[in-house]
Amino acid sequence: TRKIVFKFVTMSDTFDVVIIGGGPGGYVCAIRSAQLGFKTACIESRYTLGGTCLNIGCIPSKSLLNLSENFSKAKNNFFNVGIETGELTLNLSKMMKIKEKSVTVLTKGIEFLFKKNKVTYIKGQASFKSNNEIIVQEKNSQKIYKANHIIISTGSEPTSLPGIKIDEKIIVSSTGALSFDKVPKELVIIGGGYIGLEMGSIWKRLGSNVTVIEFLDHIVPGMDKDISIEFLKILKKQEINFKLNSKVTAVNVVENKAVVDYTSNETNIRKRIQVDKVLVAVGRKPNTEELNLKKMSIKSDNQGRIQVDNKFQTSIKNIYAIGDVIKGPMLAHKAEEEGIAVAEIIAGQSGHVNYNIIPGVIYTSPEVASVGKTEQQLIKENIKYKIGKFPFMANSRAKVINEIEGFVKILAEEKTDKLLGVHMVGPHAGDMIAEMVLAMEFGASSEDIARTCHAHPTYSEAIKEAALAVDKRPIHY
Query: Which region holds residue 168: left if phi is over 0, alpha if psi is between -120 and 50, else beta?
Result: left
Residues 148-167 that bind ligand NAI (CB under 6 A): 161
Considering the complex, what minimum distance in angstroms separates the CB of residue 139 from ligand NAI?
Answer: 31
Query: Going along 299-403, which residue ranges are E strands?
Result: 319-321, 360-362, 367-372, 385-391
Whether the Cβ atoms of residue 426 and residue 367 lie closer than 8 Å to each other: yes
Minimum distance from residue 189 beta carbon to ligand NAI (Å): 9
Q: Does 428 bind ligand NAI (CB under 6 A)?
A: no
Closer to ligand NAI by Cβ: residue 42 or 281:
281
Q: Which is nearer to ligand NAI, 286 or 474 (CB)?
A: 286
Cβ distance to ligand NAI smaller for residue 21 or 196:
196
**Rounded distance, CA 436 to CA 433, Å?**
5
- Asked if 330 is part of the footprint of ligand NAI (rule: CB under 6 A), the reply reads yes
Q: CB of residue 59 vs ligand NAI: minimum separation in angstroms?
A: 11
Query: Residue 289 is which amino acid?
Result: E
x-marked contacts with ligand NAI along 19-58 as a string, rule CB under 6 A: ----------------------------------------
281 touching ligand NAI, by CB under 6 A:
yes
CA distance linking residue 74 with residue 98, whole number of Å:
18
Residue 461, SS3 per DSSP: helix
122 DSSP 8-state letter: E
Q: Residue 283: enclosing H or E segment and its boundaries? A: none
Which of residues 152 and 429 has its CB atom nearest to ligand NAI in the complex? Answer: 429
Residue 282 lies near ligand NAI (rule: CB under 6 A)? yes
Cβ–Cβ < 8 Å for 99, 63: yes
- Shortest Å, Cβ 179 to ligand NAI: 16
Of 200 and 388, CB closest to ligand NAI: 200
Contact with ligand NAI (CB under 6 A) among 44, 198, 230, 337: 198
For residue 456, indicate whether it is catalytic: yes
**From 149, 428, 456, 476, active-site residue:** 456
Between the alpha carbon of residue 138 and those of residues 13, 135, 154, 296, the distances in Å are: 16, 10, 17, 22
CA 195 to chain centre: 8
Minimum distance from residue 368 beta carbon to ligand NAI (Å): 9
Residue 221 binds ligand NAI (CB under 6 A) = yes
Q: How many residues bind ligand NAI (CB under 6 A)?
A: 26
- Residue 346 CA to residue 320 CA, distance in Å, equals 10
Q: Which residue is nearest to ligand NAI (CB)?
A: 193
Q: Which residues contact 325 (CB under 8 A, 6 or more apart)?
A: 152, 153, 154, 155, 156, 286, 287, 288, 305, 306
Q: Is the peptide bond before 366 cis (omega within 30 degrees of 0)?
A: yes
**How far, CA to CA in Å, does 380 sit from each of 294, 384, 385, 389?**
38, 10, 12, 21
Among 136, 248, 444, 462, binds ligand NAI (CB under 6 A): 248
CB of 266 to ligand NAI, least distance (A): 14
Q: Confirm or reject binding of residue 244 to ligand NAI (CB under 6 A).
A: no
Restricted to residues 350-389, the positions that interact with ligand NAI (CB under 6 A) are 361-363
Task: Catalogue the active-site residues.
Answer: 456
User: Which residues contribute to the site for ligand NAI (CB under 6 A)?
Assistant: 161, 190-196, 198, 213-216, 221, 247-248, 281-284, 329-331, 361-363
